[in-house]
Amino acid sequence: MKKTIRDVQLQGKTVFLRVDFNVPLDGERITDDTRIVKALPTIEMLREQGARIVLASHLGRPKGEVDPRYSLKPVAQHLSQLLGVPVPLSEELVGPAVAARIQALRPGELLMLENVRFHPGETKNDPELARTWASYVDLFVNDAFGSAHRAHASTVGVGTFVPAVAGLLMARELEVLGGVLKNPKRPLVAIIGGAKIKDKIGVLENLLGLVDRLLIGGGMANTFLLAQGYDLGASLVEEDQVDTARRLMQEADARGVRVYLPQDVVVAERFSADAAHRTVPVGHIPSGWMALDIGPQTVEIFKAALQDAAMVVWNGPLGAFELAPFAAGTMAIAQALSTSKGETIVGGGDSVAAIEAANVAESISHISTGGGATLEFLEGKTLPGVAILQDLE
């Protein structure tokens, strides 16, 4: 268990608060403010307790130099509206001017630093940069779970010079995702989809050792079907992963994990919303056609496998759900999760987008804010931005 802001004295402290405000922008308009909203409880608690707050985040991938396209200005403005207090933005990331502004903060006041990736030391986890930031504050609070798989100056480095604790969002992610790995409720069912096995081997491997049932869909299911001898036509397949698929199936067998693969699929002539398409059993994929969604019979089988689940972990859409004709499978499983009596946990950028497209976000127990970080956590890896946090004695 990691220490959180609930476990430390905050009154009068100056805090370096790393958040994940890497929001999608259309020009200067924030198209989805979820990441900002999710950080509010931590910010509010710090303010209530009388801490002075230095906010730090990256946005996009500027290359270690100032790039106005990635300015946090719209984020500071939006946060200011949400909180109803000023959120000034410091264009300087280090130096006497910013030090003086931090020094002048009163309890409960905020200062947001410009995009930390405007400094070349950030992604290199430059100790000089980290030490400088740390010298401005008393405490490092990491609430950026989505960046915790990166060892950068603002996600790890600062915490090597001042005490480091988790923010409330980080703490919740660790509690829920940690619960899957350390204390799963059974039956535990994992649904793994997405385009490629290659992206998900680590997750498949680690979850195989934990779950009672594994449901596989999406593009990656094709390679499993190929390993079983089916003809996949022009579907996305990974020839170089056939052995991996075979090995994972054997491992599942040896561990008594039941693996569910598609029995029918929606096939199309092309990867396009206006392509001719129809549903066929997996043994009847026409040559030159590609499998782009699980079929209705598979949906029923998957739903039955989810019926009595006490815990469900879902990563990876079950089809090319961005294209309307191939969204039905993913939408049906999203619905099934929303009515599940078990604890439901969804992670992954596209999977979360699918949950939102299905309009069921409210009925999911936990929607993880990490993309890559969530995957690495479920792989059983130690995330550097988590490792740096103090343990609760």
- Which residues contact Mg ion (rule: CB under 5 A)? 349-350
Binding pattern for the stretch 213-252 against ligand ADP, x by CB under 6 A and - elsewhere: -----xx----------------x----------------
Measured CA angle at 53 (ends 49, 58), to 5 deg? 140
Contact partners, residue 393, CB within 8 Å, separation at least 6 = none
The 89-90 sheet, strands edge to edge: 89-90, 110-113, 52-56, 14-18, 139-142, 164-166
- 331, containing H or E segment: helix 328-338
* 265: exposed, middle or buried (Cβ count in 10 Å: 0-12, 13-18, 19+): buried
47 known member of a binding site: no
Catalytic residue among 196, 246, 247, 381: 196
Binding mask 306-325 for ligand ADP (x = CB under 6 A): ---------xxx-xx-x---
Contact characters 136-165, ligand ADP, x per CB under 6 A: ------------------------------
Q: Which amino acid is at 382?
A: T
Instruction: Give the active site residue among 108, 202, 372, 380.
Output: 372
The residue among 88 and 349 lying less far from ligand ADP, judged by its C-beta, is 349
Q: How far is the CB of 315 from Mg ion (least distance, A)?
A: 9
Instruction: Output the smallest distance, CB 96 to Mg ion, in A.
Output: 42
Say whether residue 349 binds ligand ADP (CB under 6 A): yes
172 annotated as belonging to a binding site for a ligand: no
Cα(134)–Cα(164) distance, integer angstroms = 11
Whole-angstrom distance, CA of residue 345 vs CA of residue 180: 9
35 in active site: yes
DSSP 3-state of 147: helix
Question: Greatest CA separation found in the chain?
Answer: 71
Whether residue 196 lies in the annotated active site: yes
Residue 29 annotated as catalytic = no
**370 is a site residue for ligand ADP (CB under 6 A):** no
CB 373 within 8 A of CB 152: no
* 69 annotated active-site: no
Residue 356, interface with ligand ADP (CB under 6 A)? no
391 labelled ligand-binding: no
Binding residues: 20-22, 35, 58-61, 117, 150, 200, 322, 348-351
Question: What is the contact surface with ligand ADP in residues (CB under 6 A)?
Answer: 193-195, 199, 218-219, 236, 291-292, 315-317, 319-320, 322, 348-351
